[in-house]
Amino acid sequence: MRRPRAAAAASPPARAAQRRPSPPRRWRRALLALGAGLALVLGALAASPVPSQAAGSRPCDIYAAAGTPCVAAHSTVRALYSAYNGSLYQVSRASDGTTRDIGLLSAGGYANAAAQNTFCAGTSCVITKIYDQSSRHNDLGVEGAGTAGAADHGASASALPVTVAGHPVYGVLVTPGTGYRRTDAAGVAVGGRPESMYMVASGTHVNGGCCFDYGNAEHTVSDTGNGHMDAVYIGTRCHLPPCTGTGPWVAADLENGLFQGSGSNPANKGNNSPFVTALLKNNGQTSFALKGGNSQSGGLSTWWNGALPSGGYTPMKQEGSIVLGTGGDNSNASAGSFFEGVMTSGFATDAADNAVQADIVAAGYSGDSGGSPGATITGPGGTCVDVDGDDTGVNHAAVQLWDCQAAAADQHWTHNGDSSLQTLGRCADIAGNGTANGTKVQLWDCDGVGGQVWKQQADGSLLNPQSGRCLDSPSGATANGTRLQIWDCNGGAAQKFHLD
């Protein structure tokens, strides 16, 4: 049975050599005017500004200038250094398993979403890697199994379209079972050293599942005790009530606690704007600070600036790995949207935080930060096509019927260009690529075989051409947990499946 669902330090990359614009030279007078002309030239050279293209205004430029350089910088939407011109992320194509790195339109600019669109045309893609833009190369890969969760899957590459500075880009849509990790990241704080971090996330695509985090986690994918994590969180879980309103709240995941302060902190009023800047700073010994703000306008609110919690958090005991979308032990029941985030060496200044927030606002985030996880498939009796296992999405998981639940990631399917049906990074698959009546349907890695092709018919059925049979509920059953199969197409109610 499925569980009840929760409600919905490194220097920046070297800059290219820059030229100062040459001032105009005007020699209209005789040699007598030479001295005055030279004075004008020298004056103009002294006053001429560095071109704005490399003005050092991106978040990691700002933090480096303040003495707290980035040791990790991740984004699928834009460069976080003004001179960065490498890849942002990698996608893997379902049709043949090949990968493609997605880069920028220009140095210091925005993601080349058109390259992704071309590569993924006619099929679907997942995000398999998020590159670190810092010189530390702390790239994030899809997270493996931990003590609190099975191996994760990559986010659908096209599920979170937004615009930044008017450019179409894609964020990372985290649904339960999605997560990324870098074990033993270079330069990330360990053993009570100070650090800072922020992420731009959604204030509308959230839940109370543990834990939509970005930041410092354990060496092993397990809970090793209080103070062994230091990650910024946003979600609707109130760990130490009372909490003000219904959230979501920016909090610190310090392991075994999502702290809005050193204890209950009703002063944290939450951030529910479509795009949220969520920021955490920790001196590693005695105190930490939390800030939140609207990523589209305004400044940051300080929700906490004070003592670390008691009970094993002073000093901190960070282990120096990086997680995105999960807790340190791969607690992966969370929902969230990630657009950018950095981690620094050292406790950043408030002035630097404010300048970073101004740069984020200037970036011009726009669109639906909740993304589109796919469409539901309504089956017999008004039930939904669902995957057993509470959004874990492992191979061999039964494809079944279940009461429709709006927050269920595994009830939202993408009907790909190759006619496969995909959820949680895998496809609805006929077991063993079989063709016989009664062969069960399961979830399996999308591999383009005939047993993963489902074509909608005019009578409402879903036909698998390879077998010549239709998706079917045995004997027309509609109870929760009814395992789906293939059967001779007969136009009956047991074979009516509507892609909503």
Give the residue numbers marked as catalytic.
255, 329
Alpha-carbon gap, residue 335 to 349, rounded angstroms: 30
Cα distance from N-terminal residue to C-terminal residue, the chain: 25
Alpha-carbon gap, residue 95 to 172, rounded angstroms: 21
Among positive and negative, which fits the CA dihedral 419, 423, 427, 432? negative
Alpha-carbon gap, residue 441 to 488, rounded angstroms: 14
Q: Three-state SS across 98-113?
A: CEEEECECCCCCEECH
Phi, psi of 381 (to 5 degrees): 70, 15
Q: Which residue has the tokens 């330069």?
A: 187
Alpha-carbon gap, residue 208 to 248, rounded angstroms: 9
In angstroms and rounded to an integer, the radius of gyration of the C-alpha atoms of the chain is 26
Q: How many residues does the chain have?
A: 500
Phi, psi of 392 (to 5 degrees): -85, -30
Residue 258, class by beta-carbon neighbours within 10 Å (0-12 exposed, 13-18 middle, 19+ buried)? buried
Alpha-carbon gap, residue 260 to 414, rounded angstroms: 37
Residue type, position 55, single letter: A
Residue type, position 53, single letter: Q
